[in-house]
Amino acid sequence: MSGPILVAPAPFRSAGLRATQVAAALGRGLEAGGWQVDLCPLADGGAGTLEVLLPALGGETAAVEVGGRPVGIGLIEDGGTAIVELGGVLGGGDPDAVPASSAAAGELLLAAAQTGAEVLLVGAGDLRCGDGGDGAVEAIASGGGIAPRLVVLCDVRTPADGVAWGASGDGLAGALAQACDARLESGASFVLDVLDGDARMKAARAVVVGEGLLDLHTLAGKAPGELATRARQSGVPCFAVVGGRTLDPFGGRILDLQAVLEADTLDALEAAGRTLAELV
């Protein structure tokens, strides 16, 4: 099988590394080993969603004010659609934070609606909040409601969620669906489709996925698990580089990963890429 190595990691949130940084470091290692690479940094509705979608969709950045400070959003389709990451106002950038109130998320959606967008593409993955989304809904109601259609990208599914993908945000996505008639979608599938992930994967010699922690959530809607599953179904070898792992060997067999390497710094990731160059 010919073709480049598709390097498609998600952010390593615990290490503070963006998906673009991880992909570039792994790519340097693979190129040093003589391979061509196709860099395809991923997100699944949470951190990094705006960064990976905006270039692919041909948009531009903009800023709205929430709580007296600017928050970046993306505008595509001549401003007809706004891409909004709720993580920009919830948790203060701490991936382990659980804010008591989700009100700031509602305020951000109201501010994004004021741009004149007809659709808000909302990244709600990687989020937890203590009020189940009630604060966001109340803020939206107090602000007069939202006219644009909401499409909420979620990152983790539980059996009770079914196809609704409502686990994201400890109820925030579900609250938006109920109160604002938001449509919930798998963030991983949405991003992969926008980035033409299937075609790029099938044209590749092998796939390298990655994330900060390989765990049961990887199997339940995270981007690395989604791409690894698609690679398995298409017969394309898949490798993983992760910051850490708690997924047991059985879980690894479900994803059919050829090898799992651990690295959580840029230097270690580049070294992992060189190791992968010998394994592929």
pLDDT over threshold 80, residue 95: no
Q: Dihedrals φ, ψ of 17, to 5°?
A: -110, 130
Residue 53's alpha-carbon distances to 19, 112, 188, in angstroms, are: 12, 17, 12
Task: Give the pLDDT of residue 130.
Answer: 85
pLDDT over threshold 80, residue 156: no
Q: How far apart are CA 165 and CA 125, in angstroms?
A: 10
Mean pLDDT of 214-228: 91
pLDDT over threshold 80, residue 273: yes
94 confidence band (pLDDT: 50, 70, 90): low
Helix (H/G/I), strand (E/B), else coil: 139: helix
pLDDT over threshold 70, residue 169: no
Mean pLDDT of 47-64: 94
pLDDT over threshold 90, residue 63: yes
Task: Give the pLDDT of residue 157.
Answer: 55
Task: Give the pLDDT of residue 213.
Answer: 93
Mean pLDDT of 227-248: 95
Inter-residue long-range contacts of 155-160, CB under 8 Å, 24+ positions, other chains counted: 155/44, 155/45, 155/46, 155/124, 155/125, 155/126, 155/187, 155/188, 155/221, 155/222, 155/223, 156/125, 156/217, 156/220, 156/221, 156/222, 157/186, 157/220, 157/221, 158/220
| Residues in Cβ contact with 5 at an 8 Å cutoff, skipping those fewer than 6 apart | 30, 35, 36, 37, 38, 204, 205, 206, 207, 208, 276, 280
For the chain, residues classed under CATH 3.40.50.10350 are 5-42+196-279
Task: Give the pLDDT of residue 165.
Answer: 41
Q: How far apart are CA 12 and CA 19, in angstroms?
A: 7
CATH architecture of 49-189: Alpha-Beta Complex (3.90)
Task: Give the pLDDT of residue 221.
Answer: 82
**Token digits of residue 51:** 């960064």
pLDDT over threshold 70, residue 93: no
For the chain, residues classed under CATH 3.90.1510.10 are 49-189
Q: What is the CA radius of gyration of the chain?
A: 19
Q: How many CA atoms lie within 13 A of 185 on its CB side?
A: 18
More confident residue, 251 or 80: 80
252 confidence band (pLDDT: 50, 70, 90): confident
Task: Give the pLDDT of residue 167.
Answer: 46
Q: How far apart are CA 92 and CA 217, in angstroms?
A: 23
Task: Give the pLDDT of residue 171.
Answer: 80
pLDDT tens per residue, range 132-152: 899 999 999 999 999 999 999
pLDDT over threshold 50, residue 231: yes
Q: What percent of the chain has pLDDT over 70?
A: 92
DSSP type of residue 17: B
Q: How far apart are CA 20 and CA 113, in angstroms?
A: 28
Question: Cα 106 to the chain's mean position, in Å?
Answer: 20
Task: Give the pLDDT of residue 96.
Answer: 65
**CATH number, span 5-42+196-279:** 3.40.50.10350
pLDDT over threshold 50, residue 79: yes
Query: Which parts of 58-159 are beta strand (E)?
Result: 60-66, 69-76, 81-85, 119-123, 149-154
Out of 5-19, 157-171, 209-223, 236-250, pick the least confident: 157-171
Helix (H/G/I), strand (E/B), else coil: 216: helix
Q: How far apart are CA 174 and CA 61, in angstroms?
A: 27
pLDDT over threshold 50, residue 225: yes
pLDDT over threshold 50, residue 160: no
Packed helices 19-32 and 49-57: angle between N→C axes, nearest 10 degrees: 70
